[in-house]
Amino acid sequence: MKTRCIGIWIISAIAVAFGLLTLKSGGEVLFINGAGREAAGNFLPFILWFNFSMGFVYIIAGIGLWLQKSWGVWLAMFIAAATLIVFAIFGIHILQGGLYEQRTLGAMTLRSGVWLVISIFAYWKIIRPVKGA
């Protein structure tokens, strides 16, 4: 078994925590008719369902990264790419004058940045050393 650097511990924990928080916040808006849904404002169902469903994938990716499996890295890259694609669709919605919440823009920026950093770091720490061996 490869030794696990502190960076792998950190990105794995971030991925799992991000997934749990995503499931909690998305689930409150999708499934509970209360304060969470009211606070959500002009949310886009497509974005909300995408983010909620990806919460499960975040957790799986975090486990794969913790185990230092190459599939965990590729899953992190998939998450980053899919998030950027959905973010672009959201941008088109905004440019066409669609209603949106500023916090959705911030959340998508954060999600994109976090998963880009996680996937790049994981590639360099998990995939790259195997290729160079």
What is the tally of structural domains in the chain? 1
- Which residues form the domain of 31? 6-127
Predicted local confidence at residue 120, as pLDDT:
97
Please count the other Cβ atoms lying within 10 Å of the Cβ belonging to residue 133.
5
Is residue 1 assigned to a domain?
no
Does 37 reside within a domain? yes
Q: Is residue 133 part of a domain?
A: no
Q: Are 61 and 79 in contact (CB under 8 A)?
A: yes
With respect to residue 58, please indicate whether it lies within any of the assigned structural domains: yes
Let me know if residue 132 belongs to a domain: no
Give 72-89 pLDDT, tens digit per residue: 999 999 999 999 999 999
Its pTM stands at 0.89
* CA proximity to 40, closest of 129, 121, 106, 104: 104
Mean residue pLDDT across the chain? 92
